[in-house]
Amino acid sequence: MTQSSTTSNPATVRPKFSFDGLLRKNAIAIVAVLLIVLVTLGNPAFLSFFNIANMLSQWAPAGLMAIGMTYVIIVGGFDLSVAATFSFAAVMAAMVGQTMPPSVAFVAAIAVGAAVGAVNGALVAKLKVNPFIATVGTGFIVTGLTFVLTGNVAFMVSDPGFSWLGANRIAGVPYSGILLIVSLVVGGVVLARTYYGHVIYAVGGNAEASHLTGLRVPLIEGSTYLLLGALTGIAGFISASQLSSAQANMDPNIMFDVLTVVIVGGTPLGGGIGSIGRTAIGLVIIATISNGFVLLGISPYYQNIIKGVLIVGALVLESVVNRKNAAS
Amino acid sequence: MNTTSTLSAYKAGPPLLSVHGLHKRFPGVHALKGVDFDLLAGEVHSLVGENGAGKSTLIKMITGALHPDEGAVKLAGTRVEELGAHERRARGVNAIYQELNIVPAMSAAANVFLDAPPMRGPFLDRKAANTQFEDLCARLEVSIPAQAPARSLSIADRQMIEIMRALSRDAQILIMDEPTATLGPSERQKLYGVIEGLRAEGKGIIFISHDLGEVLDISDRITVMRNGAVVDKGPRSGWTRERMVHAMVGEARGTLEPRAAETLGGEVLRIEGLALPGRLSDVSLAVRKGEILGIAGLVGAGRSELLRSLAGLEPTARADAFAIDGQVLPALPASVRQAIGAGIVLVPEDRKNEGFVPLMDGDSNVALSDLGSVTRHSFVDRKARHDLARGVAKAVGFAPERLSTPVRNLSGGNQQKLVIGKWLHIGPKVLLLDEPTRGVDIGAKADLYRAIRDLTKDGLSVILVSSELEEVLEHSDRIAVLTGHTITETLDRKDATMERVLSLIFAQKEAS
């Protein structure tokens, strides 16, 4: 329509329509609130300070990785190698931590994570390999490397300093939880307000137009994989620090947790759309479900069903909203 | 063309299609307001109007993709909504849209028989498919290799495949939505010939086009829509270009005074001996400050490649000499960033895929070319960004209150203003325009050229490529004829008549 006056005449828009839109826009947040209310009604201990603090530290690794994954997905990519990188970084941290100070172990974990991220970034952004294939490949390589390196033994670390970030608390709040919240805020602000965030949306929204506008598309695209890799390194360190040990197969399901958090939160695959705020809501939903099942004494087998329903539900919602937007 | 269309003055008989009192409302828009339309066997009935006039909505009702709120669409007497998609095709409505429905990896023949391939028992009958394909080719007097993958075919051939698909279903009604927008002059002539043949076979054709000249050439009847209503209709004989423009825009805003002879400054860009392997050789040109240099040539002559070479997008392009503002540079720009650094910016041909970020608003898209200028300590200053975009909007005649709308929701003309606008604030010297008015309304076209002329008054130089030769002739100070891989002649505007330019284009083509 060429005339703005005919398309957006407020007099012809019924009030019910905007209420509808409000519901649709905030559907995910409403689901989160409903879940919290339901679980709390079943067991008021859910909202206790102690329980929330525990959840924060438990979800710190996956949460940090979800921040990076949000960047990668908004720029139009995807990363299936994160579970492998996570284990690799954890093992590296524990191996280094056995003989060296914790700070060196921390840096080592970030370095290996960033290295894998850099390789992924180069493959996808520079060499234009399909991100699904590229990261499945690097994931295998990294998993293989980890087993070769460790021979599948667990590395224990006795240095109490090593468990500081994972296990220690200030006024009852775990350091890892504080790190998660700070990272969510910083990650959210960077994405929403800075130059870097802006060009990520631009490249994800239309890579060709961004290139023709003079943006360094491969650099921007590749850097998000590097960021995700580094955050995965930190996540691996936190996990090793929480357990005071690490082994080659730390948590193979963490990749699905990360993807579930991002997608349920409402950052769709394809690029150009999404936010860290949405990922935070996704994190609340998935954490509430996992924790709620324990608190309400429901068999954990049901968890997977609920998570699956949520992912499919989020995608259906996305598709319905898209179609409604396209129609109007 | 004129003689043939007057010959087949329209034939008596029951209408293939009749539409009565059609109304359609979307939230906030009354898209169709009581539209009547009909189509007889053996006629070309053109539908003309600006984007948003309601043509697409009407077409969707006729194909059954949308249902009317009031009124009826009848195919040979039966209401269309009572028919399924399959039955509708069986009764012969086929729409050929601008975005072609082609599976790129499948062969030409397989694409023609996409939904109903010839079978022998449970197996595909490839031989029959090829034979039928050849028959259809012969009927349309085209030659397309049956086994060539569709992605290797030209746009014109892909369009032929869609027409062949319609014919293979024995379509009685063909709806062609801007079929010539992406075709060059010779391909257009071929399509007109095909349409002529279809009319002679007794098919009914609804023809939608923004090219009023061709509408006058090939139509038996013309209907003009504006704001969801039919504002004027009648047989071809009563129509003139002026009557159409007047009906479409409601007033005379579609016309622009002729470009005055500008006083031009010194030379801004000089290229000598530019070569791009297989596409261009020994191209030389110069542009002066404030000048619009038009490039005339056929689709495929290398017009876009010439612009892309200057914009740093053709890494294999070489030039003997390349100078900006009299300063000789060592080589052509090797990247977009180098071109921008040299002051050369491109408005690409494929606006939708290469011009803007669809989900982002005007502010963001405009600022994208120099986001650093509105960034303070790595944070984007939204107010500065909006102020920047407002300034640009003013320069290109874009309504500033629409800057917060996602660009994908804007009309083609408004999108193009922003794609041009995003370059203005970085102070370019040479603006390369590749098909700037494709898919843009008549009224918006005039706005767009008005804005471009204003920019040249401030010293911007423009190289203009367009398939609309009339536009090139109307707006350029000089016209360079690109044919046979090189520029054969450069004419001043006073010497550049349509006949002269066309004869230069085709003379070279026949010689080569």
Please write the tens of the pLDDT for every residue from A120-172: 999 999 999 999 999 999 999 999 999 998 887 889 998 889 999 988 999 99
Q: Give the β-pairing of B478-483 and B119-120.
A: unpaired
CA distance A149 to chain B (A): 41
Q: Which residues of B touch A (CB under 8 A)?
A: 26-30, 50-52, 227, 311, 313, 336-337, 340, 346, 348, 353-360, 364, 368-369, 371-372, 375, 378-380, 399, 401-402, 411, 413, 422, 441, 443-444
Q: List CB contacts (< 8 A) between A2 and chain B.
A: 50-52, 411, 413, 441, 443-444
Q: List CB contacts (< 8 A) between A195 and chain B.
A: 371-372, 375, 378-380
Contact A205 B357 (CB under 8 A): yes
Contact B375 A194 (CB under 8 A): yes
Residue B418: name the closest of B404, B427, B430, B429 by CA: B404
Please write the tens of the pLDDT for every residue from B120-132: 888 888 889 999 9
Please write the tens of the pLDDT for every residue from B365-420: 999 999 999 999 999 999 999 999 999 999 888 889 899 989 988 888 899 999 99
Tell me, what's the pLDDT at B258? Answer: 64
Q: List CB contacts (< 8 A) between A193 and chain B.
A: 379-380
Tell me, what's the pLDDT at A311? Answer: 78
Query: What six digits make up the tokens of B1?
Result: 């063309």
What are the residues facing B478 on neighbouring strands?
A: B293, B492
Substitution target from B56, B60, B340, B380 for chain A, most A beta carbons within 10 A: B380
Residue B259: name the closest of B234, B226, B292, B233 by CA: B292
Burial class (CB within 10 angstroms; exposed 0-12, middle 13-18, buried 19+) of B397? middle
CA distance A252 to chain B (A): 35
Contact A208 B354 (CB under 8 A): yes
* Residue from the list A9, A201, A211 with its beta carbon closest to the beta carbon of B360: A201
Please write the tens of the pLDDT for every residue from B77-131: 788 777 776 676 666 788 887 666 788 888 899 888 887 788 888 888 888 999 9
Q: Using 50, 70 and 90 to split pLDDT, how confident is the model at B3? A: very low
Report, as an integer, the average pLDDT of A309-325.
76
Q: How far is CA A122 from the centre of its chain?
A: 21
Please write the tens of the pLDDT for every residue from A69-87: 999 999 999 999 999 999 9
Contact B227 A213 (CB under 8 A): no
Contact A6 B371 (CB under 8 A): no
Tell me, what's the pLDDT at B28? Answer: 63
Please write the tens of the pLDDT for every residue from B163-179: 888 888 888 899 998 88
Does position A19 have pLDDT exceeding 90, yes or no? no
Q: How far is CA B213 from the centre of its chain?
A: 15
Q: List CB contacts (< 8 A) between B378 and chain A.
A: 194-196
Query: Mean pLDDT highest for which of A149-153, B195-199, B497-501?
Result: B195-199
ipTM score of complex: 0.78
Residue A81: name the closest of A232, A223, A200 by CA: A232
Contact B357 A199 (CB under 8 A): no
Please write the tens of the pLDDT for every residue from A94-131: 999 999 999 999 999 999 999 999 999 999 999 999 99
pTM for this model (two decimals): 0.75
